[in-house]
Amino acid sequence: MNGASLIELESSLRAKDEHLVLKRDADMARCTTLHLGGPADLMASPSNAEQIQLLLMEAHRLNVPVTIIGNGSNLLVKDGGIRGLVIRVCRDMQAIEVSGDRIRVQAGAMMSTLSMAAADCHLGGLTFASGIPGTVGGGAYMNAGAYGGEMSQVVTLVEGFNMVGEPFRYGRPDMRFAHRYSRLMKENKLITHVTVQLPQGKREELLAEMVEFNRRRAEKQPLTQFSAGSTFKRPPEGYASQMVDECGLKGYTIGGAQVSEKHAGFLVNRGGTAADFLALMGYVQRVVYEQKGVMLEPEVRILGEDAPVARA
């Protein structure tokens, strides 16, 4: 990709849809819960599926690379930022449609919003999602879950586009859900809508369960600090947080990145850089491997480029 392609892409998009929200040199640190990362060349915040299809088709035509993000709650953007086009499916795509025991929701709606909307309609099955800080699209993409529940239990249909703007519709079996996994993580497709089917419930009981789950989360997790949630995937045997804790790494710090003193499975940003965070991740992986014989795999999604080295 060259700069001319990016300029042509922006010009073409503005000409074809004057309502499409575009921003040059978007600050990625403002778009992630870690509050880290350099700028994105061009960011689009679409409000409907038609705008998303336009973005994908035009970027493909001009050979501009595309990166898809949601609320940025499971994301580490490197200090050099992201080249090309970033499509942020978040606050401008939150519509929710309820029909009996089914809810069709735009991918940018927050998991907590969907959980509350379901409870208000006396529908259960989503109380586990009340404290998950990501979008519904991101939740379906990675089969998010907590407290014994996960998206694979309720999702019936996922709709979206591939990277050239061709539509797809996947039912639950098509998604090939597994623990924190769906086929979309390998196929690199963009979700626009998710449909869930939910069991009946009593609003008061569902709300009480949500309050209890959120109380437990606040008690155990560093919710007042900048993080990307659980940094490492659960290994085949045991728990990543327990292994990190047993290796004596709670509170260990590199630069402005720290292993949380409250929950060893969380690495938090205390005013550092993405390079600090990556260095701490690598150190934790190395120590756990040396002491436990287990190589922890990142659960956080890492995007972008390292900052250029300053010349003397």
Nearest-10 Cα torsion for 230, 307, 189, 17? 120
Helices (H) and strands (E) in the chain, counts: 9, 17
In the annotation, is 230 catalytic?
yes
Other residues' Cβ atoms within 10 Å of the Cβ of residue 99: 8
Residue at token pair 């035009």? 58
Catalytic annotation, pick one of 112, 130, 152, 230: 230
> Is 180 an annotated catalytic residue?
yes
Q: Which residues are within 8 A (CB) of 248 and not within 5 positions of it... i.e. 6 or more apart? A: none
What is the per-residue burial (b if ≥16 Cβ within 10 Å, else e) of 21-52?
Answer: ebeeebebbebbbbbbbbbbbbbbbbbbbebb
Contact status, residue 13 vs residue 247, Cβ threshold 8 Å = no
Rounded to 10 degrees, the C-alpha dihedral 47/50/56/59 comes to -90
How many other C-beta atoms can be found within 10 angstroms of the C-beta atom of residue 10? Answer: 19
β-strand 39-45 against 82-88: which pairing, if any? parallel
81: left (phi over 0), alpha (psi -120 to 50) or beta: left
Catalytic residue among 180, 183, 234, 301: 180
Cα angle: 164, vertex 170, 172; to 5 degrees: 150
**CB-hemisphere CA count at 13 Å for 159?**
13
Helix locations, 221-305, DSSP H? 240-246, 274-292
Catalytic residue positions? 180, 230, 299
